[in-house]
Amino acid sequence: MTCNLKWTDVVKNLLLCQIAANRPDVCKRVFNLKKDYLVDLVRQKLFGEVMAYVYTVEFQKRGLPHFHMLVTPKQNSKITNPNTVGQFVSAEILDPNVNKKLQEMVMKHMNHGPCADWCKVKGKCSKRFPKSFQQETTMDKSGYPQYHQRDTGILYEKKGSFVVDYRNAVPYSPTLSTVLNCHVNVEVVSSINAVMYIYTSTFMK
C-alpha cells in the first residue's frame, strides 16, 4: 500500500497555501491509520482465516510512505486454484457502467505506466509491464497465478494521454481499493522469497 497525498484526511488538515509535501507529519499519521485499518480488515478474514502475518513500513518509497504485508492463511483458506484467485484478486480494468467509482480508482492507482527511470532496467520495465493477455487465470507449477486479463480491444486513456489496456492493470483487491482509495497491490505468492522481498526492499537501500 502506498500513501495517497490526496486522501481527504490529508487535504483537510493542510493550512492555507500548503500542499501535502509541506506536511509529512500529517501524511505519515493518516497513512499509519490507513495501514492499521488494512491490517484489521485482513485479520477480520478479508482473504480467509489468517494463521500469521508480517509487515514492514518504508517512509521513502519514491518520497511516499509505503507498506508491505505478507499474509499466511490457515490451511482451509489457502488460495490454491484459479477460481479461488478470482474471488479475491482482479487484474482487469472494470467497465465504468458496472462500477464507476472502482473503475476510476483502478485507472488512477492500479495501472502501470508510463515507465520511468525507477522501474526500467536496461531500457525495459523491470515489472514486466505490459503483461500478456490471458483469457482465464491459470496457476503455474510453482503455484503462482497468471491473472485473467482479456483482450477486449478496449483502450483507456490515463492522465497525460498515456493509453493502457488490461495488460497494464496491477493486481488488486476490489474491496481494498474501494475503501482505501490508494495504490494497494495484492498478489498471490507461493515462495519463501516473498519474505525476503519485504525485508530486503525495506532495509537494503
Q: What's the mean per-residue pLDDT of the chain?
A: 87
Cα distance between residue 107 and residue 101, in whole Å: 10
Separation between Cα atoms, residue 29 and residue 20, nearest integer Å: 12
**Cα–Cα distance list, 194 to 72, 83, 199 (Å):** 11, 22, 9
What does the pLDDT look like over 94-143, one tens digit per residue? 888 889 999 999 999 999 988 888 888 888 888 889 898 989 998 877 66
d(CA 32, CA 65): 9
Question: In 10 A of CB 80, how many CB atoms?
Answer: 13
More confidently predicted of 8 and 98 = 8
pLDDT of residue 203: 42
Q: Is the pLDDT of residue 65 over 60?
A: yes
pLDDT score for 47: 93
In the prediction, which pLDDT does 205 show? 39
| pTM given for the model | 0.86
Over residues 43-62, the pLDDT tens digits come to: 999 999 999 999 989 876 55
More confident residue, 163 or 201: 163
Domain extents in the chain:
1-79+188-205, 91-170
